[in-house]
Structure 1
């Protein structure tokens, strides 16, 4: 699975430029969970790899990129990128839509953004039901987003649903779609984020596991050990190849 070397500034600039041109694009914020879902499901891997930008949301992915030679790799978390983009959108007058969460979380998040960035244009809020949508429901929500003239749509329905949703709606929405997971709940205060030191140390998953053990323990037990094993294998192969090139006199 592809993960791009980017930064908050670079990602924000790209999103704003695409949004102002009303281009239909989508951005994924990748963590270990997403990588392993892509490893297990070829169709999902293609969905993610077709994204216009894949940011290293999880610290382990940043460390992996650095180990593979991208020394300047930096973490670009979905919740943080959300705020960077909202700030820029408020300055540029770019309209924003919200898709996911609950009516309460969307209302709280909108109030939070309006206080933080006066003048921000939140033109659409959709809290779809927590089940598969009918074709009619999906068409109605899509039409609502189109008619709102939102040029940036934050999608918070969880991985892998949000990535599949964005890919399915590329071309239907004249907007940049960003999969931001729990960002609505984080910024509305409904769910606590890990302390910054845990985020920087790559221990955010420990905090989340402690907060939601019943929901997350199976995911982490399944994915984290395999990620370490597979990445270590990839790193050894990469190291061996670099040494071979150096011995052969190549740069």
Structure 2
């Protein structure tokens, strides 16, 4: 399993991108009812604020450093750790689909809308004709009844995928995966916004802008009403917490580590 290091109150998995791909494929091959989270600033701050969500992250098999600030903070807060590349869900989704096609593993797409799922399947079948797509499903945008939930779990298990990609939005998708651990016989991955990007229905910011950590600003420009409060609060909170932690290091005060 990938080693983890603390970033504020969260444990983040570390290693090269290729190691994330191989580890997730192994979890899928084992049909381990495990889940994978992609931690951006919002998720790390949510874990710092909410003990229940912090425990949820702690129990994830893999917590990838999705956001550039999170990847950078891995080394800032753990100086003995080598520089950590960003492992974004938007990048790992196509990489995992390609690897699954090569290894014969099957995938299932769960979440978002029928339009997005249709476009995703069309692209996957065009670019990866050997990829085994076990199924797709767009659940309703409301809480499911126990009977509906049981039916969806039964349908997923009947399709028997190795990898189950989940796009319900953060933190809903992370809570869904944790609640279904032990019930869904697949490795679950909460990739959220990666679905419409892979489908070609939402453009990805150019690489140069991503390297400047501007992806949050681009998403804010796309959805200002929904995201302005999240970015104003969480980004400011993240910078404050990092600054406070760095000041503790400089002052030589012991810094509490999150429970393993």
- TM-score using structure 2 length: 0.90
In 2, distance between residues paired with 1:124 and 1:212? 30
Segments of structure 1 that go 5 or more residues without pairing to the other structure are 244-251
1:15 corresponds, among 24, 36, 50, to 24
Aligned to 1:246: none
Question: Which secondary structure state, in structure 1, belongs to the residue aligned with residue 108 of structure 2?
Answer: strand
In 2, distance between residues paired with 1:84 and 1:188? 14
* Superposed displacement of residue 241, structure 1: 4.2
Question: Which secondary structure state, in structure 1, belongs to the residue aligned with residue 12 of structure 2?
Answer: coil
* Superposed displacement of residue 201, structure 1: 1.4
The residue correspondences of 1:182-197 to structure 2 (distance < 5 A) are 182-197=193-208
Count of residue pairs the alignment pairs up: 243
Question: Which secondary structure state, in structure 1, belongs to the residue aligned with residue 11 of structure 2?
Answer: coil
In 2, distance between residues paired with 1:140 and 1:131? 16
Aligned to 1:34: 43
RMSD after superposition: 1.4
2:67 maps to 1:58: yes
Question: Which secondary structure state, in structure 2, belongs to the residue aligned with residue 2 of structure 1?
Answer: strand
Per-residue CA deviation, residues 150-181 of structure 1 (Å, 9 max, x unaligned), is 11000000110011111111111111000001
Query: Does the 8 Å CA contact 1:6/1:55 hold for their aligned counterparts?
Result: no
Structure whose residues are more often helix by fraction: 1
2:142 maps to 1:101: no
The residue correspondences of 1:130-209 to structure 2 (distance < 5 A) are 130-209=141-220
- TM-score using structure 1 length: 0.93
The residue correspondences of 1:64-79 to structure 2 (distance < 5 A) are 64-68=73-77, 69=79, 70-79=81-90
In 1, distance between residues paired with 2:252 and 2:108? 46
* Superposed displacement of residue 66, structure 1: 2.1
2:47 maps to 1:24: no
The residue correspondences of 1:221-240 to structure 2 (distance < 5 A) are 221-240=232-251
Question: Which secondary structure state, in structure 1, belongs to the residue aligned with residue 63 of structure 2?
Answer: strand
Query: Does the 8 Å CA contact 2:97/2:131 hold for their aligned counterparts?
Result: yes
Query: Does the 8 Å CA contact 1:6/1:76 hold for their aligned counterparts?
Result: no
* Superposed displacement of residue 197, structure 1: 1.2
Segments of structure 2 that go 5 or more residues without pairing to the other structure are 1-9, 255-260
Per-residue CA deviation, residues 196-220 of structure 1 (Å, 9 max, x unaligned), is 1121111110111111111110101
In 1, distance between residues paired with 2:156 and 2:225? 34
